[in-house]
């Protein structure tokens, strides 16, 4: 007996048997139906929620993050103190001029930066005193009398003469007077007073009254007029 062909076997499997209706499944219809506009509304609500959440998260990061760049680059500490102070050291020092120091620096720090000369009088200074921005230290030679405080009358001196030929105990101090005090001298205006202060800071103070001739605007005639009004 010949074996059935493959095509005949396939035909047998594909012929209806009459039991197909028993295999049919009646799935229940879904109870919840969402229309297209409802789906769009839900999507919009989700997008708005995500945007709001991102905004709140960004604000919390800014409030707890690094300080603003302006506060970091202003050169001022968070407490309001300057990040550095500048003082002027003149007189008997090896390196006179402006010195940049840290806040809270003391007189000893300024002396270390300026390097006093061997003959400088430093023992009378309060090395522990705190310095302020814009302060000036005048280091006198050993044995020299301290200059009078601003606003105080100069002590009445004898006939002894200083290195510049002027009285050593009277007159306005060229090495400690402010520009405003120098303008009180006869024949000295604001421009000349500023020139005297600039020369003093550049050269570390006056060693001789005759050095006034090196100041712009002062000639021999004006020097002769000032000799009796100033001291070192």
pLDDT of residue 230: 87
Q: pTM score, two decimals?
A: 0.36
Mean pLDDT computed over 156-161: 39
pLDDT band at 105 (very low <50, low <70, confident <90, very high): very high
Cα(30)–Cα(76) distance, integer angstroms: 70
Element (H, E) at 95: none
Cα(202)–Cα(205) distance, integer angstroms: 8
| 145 or 96, higher pLDDT | 96
Q: Is 70 exceeded by the pLDDT of residue 163?
A: no
pLDDT of residue 121: 85
Cα(77)–Cα(71) distance, integer angstroms: 8
Residue 28, CA distances (Å) to 22, 31, 32, 34, 36 in order: 17, 9, 12, 17, 22
pLDDT band at 45 (very low <50, low <70, confident <90, very high): very high
pLDDT of residue 133: 87
Domains defined along the chain, listed by start: 85-139 (no CATH), 172-231 (1.10.150.320)
Q: Is 60 exceeded by the pLDDT of residue 174?
A: yes
How would DSSP label each residue in 169-232? Answer: SSSEETTT--HHHHTTSTT--HHHHHHHHHHHHHHTS-S-GGGGGGSTT--HHHHHHHTTTEE-
């Amino acid at each position: 007996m010949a074996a059935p062909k493959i095509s005949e076997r396939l035909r047998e499997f594909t012929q209806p048997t009459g039991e197909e209706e028993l295999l049919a499944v009646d799935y229940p219809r879904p109870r919840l139906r969402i229309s297209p506009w409802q789906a769009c509304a839900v999507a919009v609500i989700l997008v708005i929620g995500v945007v709001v959440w991102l905004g709140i998260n960004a604000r919390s990061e800014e409030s707890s993050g690094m300080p603003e760049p302006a506060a970091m680059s202003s050169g001022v500490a968070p407490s309001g103190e300057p990040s550095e102070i500048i003082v002027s050291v003149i007189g008997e020092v090896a390196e006179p001029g402006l010195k940049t120091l840290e806040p809270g620096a003391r007189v000893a720090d300024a002396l270390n930066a300026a390097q006093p000369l061997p003959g400088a009088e430093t023992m009378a200074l309060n090395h522990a005193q705190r310095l302020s921005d814009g302060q000036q230290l005048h280091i006198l030679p050993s044995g020299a009398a301290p200059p009078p405080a601003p606003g105080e009358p100069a002590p009445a001196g004898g006939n002894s003469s200083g290195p510049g030929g002027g009285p050593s105990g009277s007159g306005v101090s060229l090495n400690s007077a402010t520009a405003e005090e120098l303008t009180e001298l006869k024949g000295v205006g604001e421009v000349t007073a500023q020139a005297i202060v600039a020369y003093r800071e550049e050269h570390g103070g006056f060693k001789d009254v005759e050095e006034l001739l090196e100041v712009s605007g002062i000639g021999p005639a004006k020097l002769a007029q000032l000799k009796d009004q100033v001291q070192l």
